[in-house]
Amino acid sequence: MKFWAAASLLITAALLASENKPMVIDEIVAKVNGDIITASELERSRQQIRAELQARAKQAKSPEQAFDEREKDILRDRIDQLLLIQKAKELSINVDPEVSKQLADIQRQTNIPDPEKFQAYVREQTGMPFEDYKSEMKNSLMTQRVIRQEVGGRINVPRQEVLDYYEKHKQEFVREEMVFLREILVSTDGKDAAGVAAAEKKAKDLVARARKGEKFPEMARDNSDAESAREFGNIGGFKRGDLRKDIEDIAFANEKNHVTDPIKVDRGFLILKIDEKFKAGQASFEEVENDIMERLYMPRFQPRIREYLTQLRQDAFLEIKPGYVDTSAAPGKDTTWSDPAQLKPETVTKEEVASQKRRKRLLWAIPIPGTTATPKSSSK
């Protein structure tokens, strides 16, 4: 049965070829230097946007309006990505170690040690082959690295400007007393007395390691049984009254970077690290300097990214098929589509060929520029 199906396909292909009717597999809609963008790529992006908006339809005020706004930029976004990936390759940016680390982190978080089962899990969750998912991750990291290196790293916010902002907006930095925490939970769910004792010992060992200087976020990621492990143990900020009384007393009584002893809770043994601590009242400039820096940095950052991408467009070979629009086209850039299939072949007569051969031989008689000599012709 398979043989006859294959034979039928071959016969169909042969008939099409004999009639000079090419089969259109996909449509190229844009050329970006040495890469192309196809209609099917844009359609996949549309489907991804649809799926994303449907997943959060309850939060979106107008899903259709949101889709329309994002759909018009699909081609722009794809051109942006290709230009940044090409620039990353030009700059010899290597993100392979980061890709491996991120995949290992995901595999650890999902608790699927078997590589084949993990790849099957990725296919099930993302709807794409594992290698495609890995490639998308690599491309994303490359574009981020280019933006940080070529755009972010060149933006400077003078410290005096940060200080001036603080003086003019002091009322915005009057705060309540708060503590910001990370956690590690060593679970005792379903464990007998021996299992509980082992969990307590593990918790005490983790505390000792943290107090010796081991990085708490990575320890939380690798050892915590809480959902916050995916966030490196980060559970955010708390005011007085937000926490259980015994935990609140410990958290507010200690200073920044303190790691608590294991605290017995219903699900196991809890270890907390005080990531940050704010006293009630006016925050000092040093306490909020980084926050102000970010406030002043971001309004500069986004426009600079677009300026950089516009310059990449100016320097690129870029052609876009009629009917498709790059919503961030570079001003004055000619992106007119040229279709090789529409170019007319030139015909040459035998007499013209013979004439070209004679002209080629006559080149030996042309003087060398800047001299009065002429090259000697070959005796052959």
DSSP one-letter string for 250-279:
HHHHS-TT-BPPPEEETTEEEEEEEEEEE-
Same domain, 95 and 225: no
Same domain, 12 and 142: yes
8 Å CB contact between 26 and 39: yes
Final residue of a structural domain among 279, 314, 346: 279
Three-point CA angle 97, 101, 105, nearest 5°: 175
Same domain, 145 and 10: yes
Q: Is residue 165 part of a domain?
A: no
Does an H or E element contain 236, and which? Answer: strand 234-239
Same domain, 196 and 101: no
Please tell me the predicted confidence (pLDDT) of residue 371. Answer: 42
What's the CA gap between 227 and 267, in Å, rounded? Answer: 13
Q: Residue 31: which domain range?
A: 2-150
Mean pLDDT of 108-136: 91
Q: Is residue 354 part of a domain?
A: no
Count of domains for the chain: 2
The model's confidence at residue 109, banded by pLDDT at 50, 70 and 90, is confident
Q: Is residue 321 part of a domain?
A: no
Q: Is residue 109 part of a domain?
A: yes
Q: Is residue 262 part of a domain?
A: yes
Residues 170-201: tens digit of each pLDDT? 999 998 899 999 999 999 999 999 999 999 99
Tokens describing residue 68: 């329309």
Higher pLDDT, 318 or 350: 318
Residues 349-378: tens digit of each pLDDT? 555 545 554 444 333 333 434 444 444 444
Integer angstrom CA distances of residue 124 from 129, 133, 138, 350: 9, 11, 20, 64
Residue 5's DSSP bridge partners are none
Residues 214-250: tens digit of each pLDDT? 999 999 998 999 999 989 999 999 999 999 999 999 9
Q: Is residue 361 part of a domain?
A: no
Q: Is residue 243 part of a domain?
A: yes
Tokens describing residue 356: 């070209």
CA terminus-to-terminus distance, the chain: 66
User: Helix H segments across the chain?
Assistant: 2-18, 39-55, 63-71, 74-90, 96-110, 115-126, 130-150, 159-168, 193-211, 216-223, 245-253, 285-315, 350-362
Instruction: Give one DSSP letter per residue of 286-328, joined into a string.
Output: HHHHHHHHHHHHHHHHHHHHHHHHHHHHHHS-EEE-TT---TT
Q: Is residue 240 part of a domain?
A: yes
Please tell me the predicted confidence (pLDDT) of residue 110. Answer: 85
